[in-house]
Amino acid sequence: MYGVADADMPRQLFSVAPSLRGPAIQPNLAFGPAAVGPAINPALYQDVAVWSPEQYAIPVQFEPEAPQSSIFDSATVPLYAMAGAAAGFAATMFARKQGAAEPKVAMFGVGGQAGPMPGVAPQTQGYAGGVSRSMGGPMTDSTILVQGGSLRTWSYRSPAVEQVQVVLSTEGRPLDADIELWHGPDNTPVKMRVYVENGQMRPFSAVIETPRGPNTVAIRNIGQIEFPIAANVIADHVDNPSVDCISSATTIQGGALRTYPFDPSVDSVEVLLKTDGRPLNARIELLQGPNNNKQIIELYTEDGNDRPFFCVLETPGSGNVVRVVNTAPVEFPMTASVVPHSINDSMGSGDVVIGGDAGW
């Protein structure tokens, strides 16, 4: 309870709350010699319904128990890991079965050309010809559209393919391409640079020798993206030089040139270049008028006897002249033969009449 020692002394508070355990202890303490006065009269608290002394709770310290390990708790992590591995294995096997059930799509056998996509309509092209497929029968169109700056390759693994014919054309736009023959790693026995002013009027057609396969023909369109090329490489029914072309060969020394004019009735001419086994470096030009190049071919062959060069040049109109230049040094002569390939008899001579009195 509350006790007072003296009237001049401030009120002192003493804890009289009983303990949570055992009997209640009420200390009777006083400060000073004066006697302790009577306790506070409960009648002073008449407004309170029930009077009781204030209680103070003394908290008891709680000591948590140490966690006890169990064999089930230690095995939880390995069990979850095993369940995850089993689920992953089941998903993998299901994906493999789904992939095996899908039908295989036949792909083109031409390098750099993507195969047809299922459910997508084929792209329409304005060129004629077929691409041989690795699965199924041959297609009706073997012409590949080579966009500007892109490369396409044709590979022949069989040694029975000893020569192929390369045909390039456009829709009437200029044609500018690089043609290479790859024989083994880092071995390019034949290179040529082709330029044509109008690929529709004067398409390029040349025969490349491919002995001792496998061989790969690479065609790169070095023109701009606005100038696509229609390319076709043929391994069967290859053009061969005529008897007149083989028998009319003449020698051109290194650094020399020779010109061959043709009548307007000649629609195309054959060009055959060979050496005695030495490298072949030459430039073939088709001119129509003074310094007006309609077609240019820059050629390199490492062996002009094993890999001779043969091509057919279209010569529509009048005033066509074929000029052959041996760009190699004087130690590397070559033989050239340029003869008519096809003649249009209905075409007149087209000679220029000076003064208007010719034939009078």
What is 186-248 written as a DSSP string? T---EEEEEEES-TTTS-EEEEEE--SS-EEEEEEE-S-TT--EEEEEESSS-----HHHHHT
The token duo for 78 is 């390995």
Q: Which pLDDT belongs to residue 180?
A: 95
Parallel, antiparallel, or unpaired for β 151-156 and 144-146? unpaired
For the chain, 360 residues long, give each residue's pLDDT as a single digit of tens.
444 445 455 555 544 444 444 444 455 544 444 444 455 555 555 554 554 545 545 555 555 555 555 555 566 667 777 888 788 778 777 767 665 544 443 333 444 443 444 444 444 343 333 333 333 333 335 889 999 999 999 999 888 899 999 999 999 999 999 999 999 888 999 999 999 999 999 999 999 999 987 999 999 999 999 999 999 999 888 999 999 999 999 999 999 999 999 999 999 999 999 999 999 999 999 999 888 999 999 999 999 999 999 999 999 988 999 999 999 999 999 999 999 999 988 765 555 545 544 444
**Domain boundaries in the chain?**
1-61, 144-343
The C-alpha atoms of residue 122 and residue 213 are separated, in whole angstroms, by 33
Q: Which pLDDT belongs to residue 346?
A: 76
Superfamily (CATH) of domain 144-343: GOLD domain (2.60.120.680)
The token duo for 101 is 């059930």
Taking residue 156's Cβ as centre, other Cβ atoms within 10 Å add up to 17
Through-space distance between the first and last CA atoms of the chain, rounded to whole angstroms: 162
CA 328, 329, 335, 341 dihedral sign is: positive
Q: Which pLDDT belongs to residue 258?
A: 95
The C-alpha atoms of residue 285 and residue 292 are separated, in whole angstroms, by 10
The token duo for 75 is 């095995």
Longest dimension (CA), the chain: 174
Neighbouring-strand partners of residue 215: 156
Entry field: residues in the chain: 360
The C-alpha atoms of residue 360 and residue 356 are separated, in whole angstroms, by 9
Is residue 326 within 8 Å of residue 253, measured between CB atoms? yes
Residues 6+ apart with CB under 8 A from 15: 27, 56
- Three-state DSSP state, 101: helix
Unique residue bearing structure tokens 């050309």: 113
Q: Which pLDDT belongs to residue 163?
A: 92
- Three-state DSSP state, 33: coil
Parallel, antiparallel, or unpaired for β 175-182 and 215-221? antiparallel
